[in-house]
Structure 1
């Protein structure tokens, strides 16, 4: 039995991420772009809250997320509508790419998690959610002290 710690969690993350990166590379997108495509599937999103949400999720500077959005626009996968507040939405090509990403993720998920008993998956999900919440709380506390 392995001990649950940051190293074990990190190894699982990096191994899974490597599979995702390999699966989406032929689509011409990277991990940050995948997250943005997924965030835009439900429809247009105001750019500022989208940038904040993705920066917080990835623990990166907002400028990195602006670059991701700009790349999606330049690649014809997203478009900007500045009529009221800057809105970002997927183009038809963006929807098609996101659907292919979702298909790849579904395959990876089935292969990696498909035979894990539901009760064990539920416990793991709760534990990882709790660890994430605690880490986010600690990061927020550090940011407030600055």
Structure 2
């Protein structure tokens, strides 16, 4: 398929994000998990050290820019679903939580390969650099004083 590439801007970025997220959410709904739950669970599973609820809230808030009360509610949902468990001051993923992420990964892998496959490495590297810069600048705007 040959198309004229649009210039990268906020709209193009948003369209790509929501298209890819839509694909993921089709898989997540089959497992009874929301996008935010998956992000929080992944943060717990991939952490190098046990995480407190505050640690996970900070990580998820940094990724999704969502409100802390909503993230805390998400952690409570994961605890209620026994995908996370309290271990002293920490929250740890359960075997069921790890298995869920593995199942979601296995289901999304072939779709991800189709979506990303065939894109030249140089294009991916250039897009990665641009997106990293956009993320850095947007994060700086979020903490900049308004006025």
| Aligned Cα root-mean-square deviation (Å) | 1.5
Report the equivalent of 1:111: 114
Q: Which moved more, 1:106-115 or 1:90-99?
A: 106-115
Give the Cα–Cα distance (whole angstroms) in 2 for the partners of residues 36 and 107 of structure 1: 23
Instruction: Give the CA deviation at 1:64.
Output: 0.8
Tell me the secondary structure at the aligned position of residue 3 of structure 1.
Answer: coil
Q: Deviations over 1:82-130 (max 9, x none)?
A: 2xxx211111111110111222342332111111011100100110010
Report the equivalent of 1:66: 72
Report the equivalent of 1:35: 39
Give the Cα–Cα distance (whole angstroms) in 2 for the partners of residues 108 and 15 of structure 1: 12
Please list every run of 5 or more consecutive structure 1 residues that lacks an aligned counterpart in the other structure. none
Q: Deviations over 1:19-49 (max 9, x none)?
A: 1100111111111011112111135312112
Please list every run of 5 or more consecutive structure 2 residues that lacks an aligned counterpart in the other structure. none
Matched, 1:99 2:102: yes
Give 1:9's match in structure 2, choosing from 8, 13, 17: 13
Give the Cα–Cα distance (whole angstroms) in 2 for the partners of residues 37 and 105 of structure 1: 16
Query: In the comparison of the two structures, how many residue pairs are matched?
Result: 141
Choose between structure 1 and 2 for higher RCO, CA contacts under 8 A separated by at least 6 residues: 1
Tell me the secondary structure at the aligned position of residue 45 of structure 1.
Answer: coil
* TM-score, normalised via structure 2 length: 0.89
Give the Cα–Cα distance (whole angstroms) in 2 for the partners of residues 25 and 70 of structure 1: 18
